[in-house]
Homo-oligomer: A and B are copies of this chain.
């Protein structure tokens, strides 16, 4: 392609709308253009990158026997009502765009396709002899994000590969799940990405096991915990660990102490000269279920630990039936500000005890008619601990479970953190990194097939729900993550596997007919050799062309400059910036070698 004929405009200045380097670079280098909030047009160069990633994804998916299809983007509400997700997706969380058509039927714009594919499987699959099956598609998805940002990272329209598999049992599901794990690793390797596969929380999609694929990058939104030995990596939301041991308590007598203004762990520890590991801290939540029921949840956790709210949410969903609900739609921690909103009582925040007195509970009955106590496993084994006295400016010390306070239901709610020991080998200490989630594979089990009555008949003639897996990969997000991982101050550095073009031939001076002649003949020869080549034949200064070439990030730049007098051109490697003089006659061979 000749740049003089391509619709391509680069920007000198960083666009105000962008924060992340990758977002800035994709806008500046003319890859994408903003059409509206969270909406980006993929201009010709970007489309080539996306097509290359898609081609890699297709090859690896097809190699596993998965079948490509294309499902509808508009999805009838009835399907989502069957799975029970319509209200959660369109109202409670509101991430699904929904509308009413001219016949007054509700339809949503697909953020994901479990319902549609399960409806198809329910019709098409009757017998174990038809199983396993795995269908996938590469398609634009939609999410009405609360705060669309970071360009293609969190847009309202984005391209995904999503696959769905159907099985007779968990064993068959696991086979496909592990095949997908291998296929995903191949795809990311082929795209030239540094990544980690991590244990993940299954979130709203549901299911038992799930794994995320994180492209490592400083600006990543996700925290990863991992061990040096490479045997453990997990999203912080999902990570498990052995917390440091608690320091033995020196309070051997239960008593109430005056601790004025010591309403933080730090201040109370300082005042009482104790370790945070000796303190039982209470965190109070107001939880709202999907049926509108509000529950006050009091979590007791060790003073040095934080609550992992994803784990908490999962625990709360488990007991949802007790409150007539199914899903948690809101989780709000009681701090000075939020307390004003949903509790006018004088709750002594910072001094609450594990058995928050009934008098306080009565005060908030209107806001949270139900009350639930949970204890993190980190407090279950504590003796003679310090905790609140249910009275402002007072703590108790030397407390013990069953003696002064009943031990609430013990669950695992603490957030793993760097410095914790690993479960698989306590000599391994967890370390932290940041990543961008580009893939997520799930063992769904029978969540959707049961809800939607998608069954098959097994060899014994029994009718059973299909066992399902689902496998997502963010194609447009991967493209930007690649830029986030690989760029320098001058611009993008594409891996040759996903670069829009392999080579850019830059003519420093188009008024020089000799330069043009060499460039045109190389442009032709490279095309014949199936090397994807751009020709910068624009009427611009050499400096502008070099800057643009760096910005756009094509792996190799061929410059038909002064050296042509000696029968040579300069070939610059974009990543290393190393320039090599190569005889004109050897350029094709040289680049074939480099690109192979």
Contact = CB atoms under 8 A, between A and B. Distances in A.
Nearest to A538: B129
Given A47-B69, A70-B42, A539-B129, A33 B97 contact: no
Nearest to A539: B129
A92 B325 CA distance: 43
Interface in A1-37: 1, 4-9, 33, 35-37
Contacts of A98: 99
A175 B46 CA distance: 28
Interface stretch (A120-128, A290-298, A335-343): A120-128
Contacts of A9: 123-124
A9 B6 CA distance: 46
Interface stretch (A139-147, A214-222, A381-389, A573-581): A139-147
A142 B107 CA distance: 13
Interface stretch (A71-79, A316-324, A433-441): A71-79
A109 interface: yes
Given A7-B135, A76-B36, A70 B99 contact: no
A74 B5 contact: no
A125 B7 contact: yes
Q: Which of under 10, 10 to 19, 20 to 34, or 35 or more describes the interface residues of A?
A: 35 or more
Nearest to A68: B47
Contact of A37 (B8, B103, B130, B135): B103
B102 A144 contact: yes
A237 interface: no
A564 B137 CA distance: 40
Interface string A490-520: 0000000000000000000000000000000
A457 interface: no
Given A7-B124, A41-B120, A44-B135, A76 B146 contact: no
A229 interface: no
A72 B39 contact: yes
B102 A99 contact: no
A442 to B, nearest CB: 20
Interface in A168-196: none
Contact of A133 (B1, B7, B42, B48): B7
**Number of copies of this kind of chain in the complex:** 2
Contact of A72 (B40, B74, B76): B40
Given A7-B133, A109-B109, A70 B97 contact: no
Contacts of A121: 7
B123 A72 contact: no
Contacts of A40: 72
Contacts of A99: 97-99
Given A99-B97, A99-B98, A144-B101, A71 B7 contact: no
A248 interface: no
A50 interface: yes
Contact of A73 (B43, B47, B140): B140
A40 B40 CA distance: 27
Interface in A58-96: 65, 67-76, 79, 94
Interface in A528-546: 539
A116 interface: yes
Interface of A: 1, 4-9, 33, 35-37, 39-44, 46-48, 50, 65, 67-76, 79, 94, 97-99, 101-103, 105, 107, 109, 116, 119-121, 123-125, 129-130, 133, 135, 140, 142, 144, 146, 156-157, 539
Given A36-B74, A36-B107, 14 more contacts: A7-B67, A7-B133, A35-B72, A35-B75, A35-B116, A41-B71, A42-B69, A48-B68, A50-B70, A72-B157, A73-B73, A74-B157, A97-B101, A140-B140
